[in-house]
């Protein structure tokens, strides 16, 4: 009986308890547990990518897009812009943009970040504009009490 318990305890301790290397807690996988949005890398907007033109210098590209996330020492004529975002329990979304240069001039653009084919995007019909009134300070209970007895509070 005791040897069976020892074997059961040894087998229980030997199993891998963390199937996901990034999971730090058993509760982390539950849907009601909050997971923070994590974004890393270069945020590239459609307008930024649209302003790229073949023949631009590295300095001009750097001005438009910013410093690339990855600059390979062995491939100095290739710049990689990578952006990842992990929203809560959703899978991670990754966007890549690779720029190739020759003689300090942009010759090729590759990746999954592309400008839209349409010039101007149509507004989303589901989006509503909400107007928020200006802030008006409200008096607290103590301030109202001091004014009632004739003592003005100091700001």
pTM, entire model: 0.53
Residue 153: pLDDT band by 50, 70, 90 thresholds?
Answer: low
- 92: which 2 tokens? 């991670």
pLDDT above 80 for 75: yes
CA distance 69 to 81: 5
How distant, in Å, are the alpha carbons of 134, 146, 153 from that of 143? 22, 5, 7
pLDDT score recorded for residue 8: 56
Residue 112 lies in a domain: yes
Does 144 fall in a domain?
A: no
Enclosing domain of residue 52: 35-117
Q: How many structural domains comprise the chain?
A: 1
Lowest mean pLDDT segment, chosen from 21-35, 60-74, 109-123, 141-155: 109-123
In a domain, 48, yes or no: yes
Q: Is the sign of the CA dihedral 21, 22, 26, 30 positive or negative?
A: negative
- Does 99 fall in a domain? yes
Report which DSSP code applies to 151: P
Question: Which has more pLDDT, 123 or 61?
Answer: 61
pLDDT at 29 over 90: no
pLDDT over 90 at 101, yes or no: yes
Q: Comparing 150 with 70, which gets the higher pLDDT?
A: 150
The answer to whether position 53 is within a domain reads yes
| Residue 109: CATH number of its domain | 3.30.1450.10
| pLDDT for res 117 | 47
Round to whole Å and give the CA distance between 40 and 55.
29
Asked whether residue 102 is assigned to any structural domain, the reply reads: yes
Burial of 152 (0-12, 13-18, 19+ CB in 10 A): exposed
71 part of a folded domain: yes
Q: Answer whether residue 40 is part of any domain.
A: yes
């Amino acid at each position: 009986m005791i040897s069976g318990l020892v074997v059961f305890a040894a087998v229980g301790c030997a199993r891998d308890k963390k199937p996901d290397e990034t999971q730090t807690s058993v509760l982390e996988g539950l849907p009601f547990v909050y997971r923070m949005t994590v974004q890393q890398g270069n945020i590239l907007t459609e307008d930024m990518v649209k302003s790229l033109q073949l023949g631009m210098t590295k300095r001009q590209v750097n001005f438009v897009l910013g410093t690339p996330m990855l600059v390979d020492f062995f491939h100095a004529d290739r710049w990689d812009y990578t952006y990842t975002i992990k929203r809560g329990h959703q899978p991670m979304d990754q966007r890549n943009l690779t720029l190739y240069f020759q003689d300090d001039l942009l010759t090729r653009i590759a990746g999954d970040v592309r400008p839209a084919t349409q010039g101007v995007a149509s507004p989303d019909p589901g989006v509503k504009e909400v107007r928020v009134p200006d802030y008006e300070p409200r008096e607290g209970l103590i301030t109202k009490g001091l004014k009632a007895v004739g003592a003005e509070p100091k700001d």
